[in-house]
Structure 1
Amino acid sequence: MSPINFATLERVDVHTHAITPKYREFLIQTDHQNPDGWPEIPEWTPEQHISMMKETNITTAILSISTPGTYLRPFDAPLTKEISRTTNVELSEICAAHPGHFRFFASLPLPSIPDSLAEIDYALDTLGAVGFCVLSNANGIYMGDKALDPIFDKLNERKAILLMHPTSCKIISHAHSYSTTSDAKSEPNLTVVNPLQIPSGLLEYMFDETRAVANLLVSGTVTRCPEIKFIMSHAGCLLPPVLERVAVALQNFFGGGMDSTEMKRLLRERFHFDLAGLPWPDMIHALLRIVGPDRLVYGSDYCWTPSPLAKTLIKKMDEGAGEMWTEDTIKEVYAGNAKKLFGL
């Protein structure tokens, strides 16, 4: 078998981020100079991103706004609406200026129901978004919460693609007093949970997205919304090794939920999994016990992952993939699966 020339393999980057000029201003104005404990807000321009793409043979990058998202001031629905619309327009304009390189996931002004419903249609019909990036929780309202059912029903109606992205764990101390309407008057307390002296992006992100996707499954949201296509980031986070425990415990101790066979079927049929971060050498094996390589897509996590590190992670991925798969399978994982998913 001839060696694989990874330098020539095309990549489609499903998990990659932009820091638009106005979004940077919003971060600074709301005191998010070190979002979720990261050292700084990274520099980003379309030209820098395109240069990185050319060096790594990424032909298309689907831009999104990373954590802390667009709800930068808790329970301030008008500001969240403004930030979401402004950054969605910015991303749309960037894609229009560089159509050969970029597409984008829109942000939603969650947890406001009316504002998010309006933004879904505007982002798809006017701005040309290919889908939506939603964080694992929106100021303490987790994906799969019944309060967000109207949003997921709308996304189902529009047959949307949803990139699930982790953020820091947040807990509302008086959740019953918070309304998901845009004119909510109450101001409950919000606590950001990180019990360790480790930046939340290193551990808590993995836990939080696992919470959200498990909640989407257990709540019945995934089953109820069969037209939504989900992308879970970071190789499924911690869901693969704990899924069996969740399903078996729910059935045996609480007399409900769905069995693990059904959960795994939903993951195989309704989810894709991006390979941003460090799926090799360990995480990938737990994920592949549940899904096949036809459900995997490439992700760089640039620009929050600096270009030198993104290139290092590509080399690690190439080494791991080359030991596991044929060149044809790797081509599908790096580009083909995403092209089919997005109709590229």
Structure 2
Amino acid sequence: MTESKLCWLDIRGADEESAPAILEEAVHQRIDAVVAAETGLLAALPPTVRRVLVHDAGEPVDDFAGADLVVVAGSADDRAKLAAAHPATDFGRYVEIVDAETLETACEAARTERWSLLDFRDPTKIPLEIVLAAAAGREGTVLTRAADVEEARIIFGVLELGSDGVLMPARAVGDATALRLAAGAVTGEVDLVELTVTATAHIGMGERACVDTCSYLGKDEGILVGSHSKGMVLCVSETHPLPYMPTRPFRVNAGAIHSYTVADRGSTRYLSELVAGSKVLAVDTRGRTRVVNVGRIKIETRPLISVDAVAPNGQAVNLILQDDWHVRVLGPGGAVLNSTELAPGDKVLGHLPTADRHVGYPIDEFCREQ
């Protein structure tokens, strides 16, 4: 099993005029492999991009020179015979899943083959879940064919771990970028730093937003929130017990509506902009991330508290929260800190994005926030 999600492009359906530009984009986006009908189109690819052919075991064998990997549509014996005849080429298996019998074949291939390319003809993802469960702990790599970017996003997340990679047809410039973004939205890490609280102040009434996600959030997990785009604090989810109300493990009482949070693809969003269906980045105390869907935003007028902190590099950070004991942030080691009890010298976890922002996207320009 791979540690990062693989992105493969299938250019067999691209027209001759579009193919060169699609391949150029694929290289720029660091696509992991390109599947073609013949290796001539792949000759100019750098060695960082795997050259892949799909071969039907019933077809005559051509020279596989120029291919890094040949995926065989056939049995394990068919693949073994070709591998013995062409020892310099890597081989895997292609399985089309249309019924229970071919599903079992796919499970067997995922468990035993170094490379398995699976093509599920029905829209349900239950067969893929079965294959991934049956091949848990596998040594090889399982790739699944997706019809488009939306399906790729779903495949990457099946059973949380998802398929090791996705093969998607590329028919136009932009497809490679879209696939890479879909893979990049699944997981990653951010650098967290220890911020030192310098001051707190009760500032009166204002509107704050609770971010209700469609996911259970962990006890050491929340979202990054801050008054400035270059400094944010990790606000914890309501997974920790409170004396007067039940836990709401899907919710983060995030802060005042002007605040930034981190969305998918590294962009920022104002809390006031989030709606049902928006995406935000959930972050744990080790900096591990995942994209979660917003189910609801609750904006209500509440007393607010302003928390000032400073980073080790001297950068100032501010967060404005609901002024209430049950609103919490995370500190080093997963410590859960009540916002109203924060005092100068306390340590909280935060993140310092380096780029300025324009309509939420990183941009290299001068921008001062105060």
TM-score, normalization: structure 1? 0.39
Q: Name which one, 1 or 2, has greater alpha-carbon Rg.
A: 2
Greater per-residue strand proportion: 2
